[in-house]
Amino acid sequence: MKDTLNSTDFEQSAHTIQAKRVHFTYLKTIVDQQLIQREVLHRIQAADAELDDLLAIQRLIPLEKINVSSDVGEIVQRLIRGSVYVQLEPDFHEGLLIDVADLQRGYRSNNEADNEYSVIGPKAGFVEDLDTNLNLLRKELLTEHLRFEAYSKGSLSQTRVIIAFIDGICNPEHVDTVRQRIEDAEFDVVFDSSIIDQVISDNANSPFPLFMSTERVDRAKFSLLSGQVAVLSSGSPYVITGPTTVFDFFASPEDYYLPWILASFFRCIRYFGVAFSILASPFYVAVLTFHYSVIPQPLLGPIIESRANVPFPPIIEVLLLEITVDMLREAGARLPTKVGQTLGIVGGVVLGTAAVQAGLTSNILIIVVSLSALSSFATPNFKMANTIRFLRFPFIALAAAWGGLGITIGFLLLIGHLLRLKSLGTPYLVPLFPFRIRNYADSFIRSSFSLTSNRPLYLRPLKLHRYKVPKPKERNDDYNRE
């Protein structure tokens, strides 16, 4: 049994009652341990009758769904669904299966994924309690191959850290890498899983996130089923998963709940939004500083009129407005929700109008920066969204120095940096580089489920095939023949 359910939450205990040893086996993250103590163990200990056999124990327990079983397959399936297995020495070939699943734990009214909201799909998110998070994963993945490995990190906090993976799917090399990096890391206090993210990262000096950070249960479940490793820590509602590629940060869980054509369209919009968010302001600076000739003649008049009273060069104008927008965003994020929304709307309108009237910026730049800020919100992952916000400023500086050539240099440096990045030894730009044509089905677009039945090859999963989609059959209705 222990070999089959080789996980940290697998619990075995024995109690001496009436000179006989009673053994209890269960998964502590999925059962109600108070129910075990109150309705099972306490009633056995308080029994006056002799505990001659399992039927005598069964008569003492006032619970439903109790049966005697010796089938290992049935026992394993009942354990991962929240049962406790009770055995009486010396008869170990069979035991009592008692349903004590904790059905209420994990799903509460206040654990929705606020930062990864989705209109379609499950709304359940992780919380700060680690046992609750493990319970959520156990309920969603009813397999005996789900493994939890526990570690205690932090000399002062003794924070519980869990490595989760599916044995038989996840590549053992990825698990060994994560295990070794966590064991080698030394902390005094682990405040959040994001600290572990940075410590076990392949390149801590990169602004790009190398591990996916999510508070959604369905996203963590999808990552585990794909063959990735997940890391959870107590006190943190976020789960980090890896290895990841840059394309994973632009895929939303909602993509898989919509028809593939719509999902692909929305994913392409996100990529366009990222490109626009990074390059819109630098192009404005480059054109107005070095490349007047590329401005169409009908647009030249409005631009000259808009900038006639602006005393600053384009670089100062853009930086002033970009920093103002980021300050509004930071202020709105740290205020209560209603106040933050009001500040963002009123502050943007008032400051934008005042800046134009005062001659500090042009009307066209207001439009460009506003669209650029709006485009950055299209990224479904907040860590990648922060990276995109940061990348605008180096590109603006290069555009002010060398114009279009500077933007080209920045783009080449960005590609070179991405080519060097790895996540748990996996190239960050795969399937673009190294080229993996079979993984393109779920990268730039989300293809139909019939084309994504295999797990990503770059994860090197032990089990490649994921599911089977039957081909649609031709309809032969009788009335069509008439």
**53 neighbors 65 (Cβ within 8 angstroms):** no
What one-letter code names the amino acid at 147? R
Question: What sign for the dihedral angle of Cα 387, 392, 393, 397?
Answer: positive
DSSP 189-250: ----HHHHHHHS-S-TT-SS-SSEEE-BHHHHHHHHHHT-EEEEETT-S-EEEES--GGGGG
Strand partners, 212: 241
Q: Which pLDDT belongs to residue 262?
A: 92
Q: What's the predicted TM-score (pTM) here? A: 0.86
Q: Which pLDDT belongs to residue 247?
A: 93
Q: Which pLDDT belongs to residue 481?
A: 47
Q: Dihedral, CA atoms, 65, 70, 72, 76, nearest 10 degrees?
A: 20
Could you tell me the two tokens for 130? 């680690």
Q: Residue 366 and residue 58: Cα distance in Å, rounded?
A: 74
Torsions phi, psi for 213 (to 5 deg): -115, 120
Count of all residues that appear for the chain in the document: 482
Q: Residue 357 and residue 334: Cα distance in Å, rounded?
A: 29
Q: Residue 151 and residue 158: Cα distance in Å, rounded?
A: 9
How big is the CA angle at 29 (ends 24 and 33), to the nearest 5 degrees? 50
Q: Which pLDDT belongs to residue 479?
A: 46
Output the 3-class SS for 256-296: HHCCHHHHHHHHHHHHHHHHHHHHHHHHHHHHHHCCHHHCC
Residue 243: asked if its preceding bond is cis (omega within 30°), the reply is yes
Strands 20-27 and 10-17: antiparallel
pLDDT in tens, the chain (482 residues): 666 677 888 888 898 888 888 889 999 888 888 888 888 888 888 877 777 788 888 888 888 788 888 888 898 989 988 899 988 888 778 888 988 887 666 555 556 666 777 778 788 889 888 988 999 999 889 888 999 999 998 888 889 999 999 999 999 999 999 999 999 988 888 888 888 998 899 998 999 999 999 999 999 999 999 999 999 999 889 999 989 999 999 998 888 898 999 999 999 999 999 999 999 999 999 999 898 888 888 888 888 877 777 888 889 988 988 888 888 777 776 766 655 655 665 666 667 777 767 777 778 888 888 888 888 888 888 899 899 999 999 999 999 999 999 999 999 999 999 999 999 999 999 988 888 888 888 888 888 888 888 899 889 999 998 888 776 554 555 544 44
H-type alpha helices, 11-124: 33-35, 42-45, 54-60, 72-79
Task: Compute and round to an integer the Cα radius of gyration of the chain.
Answer: 29
Residue 296: asked if its preceding bond is cis (omega within 30°), the reply is no
Q: Which pLDDT belongs to residue 482?
A: 46
Q: Residue 363 and residue 359: Cα distance in Å, rounded?
A: 10
Residue closest to 217 by CA, chosen among 122, 117, 298, 299: 122
Q: Which pLDDT belongs to residue 296?
A: 83
Residue closest to 364 by CA, chosen among 184, 211, 135, 372: 372
Q: Which pLDDT belongs to residue 248?
A: 92
Query: Measured over all CA atoms, what is the biggest interatomic distance in the chain, rounded to whole angstroms?
Result: 100
Q: Residue 243 and residue 217: Cα distance in Å, rounded?
A: 18
Q: Which pLDDT belongs to residue 109?
A: 53
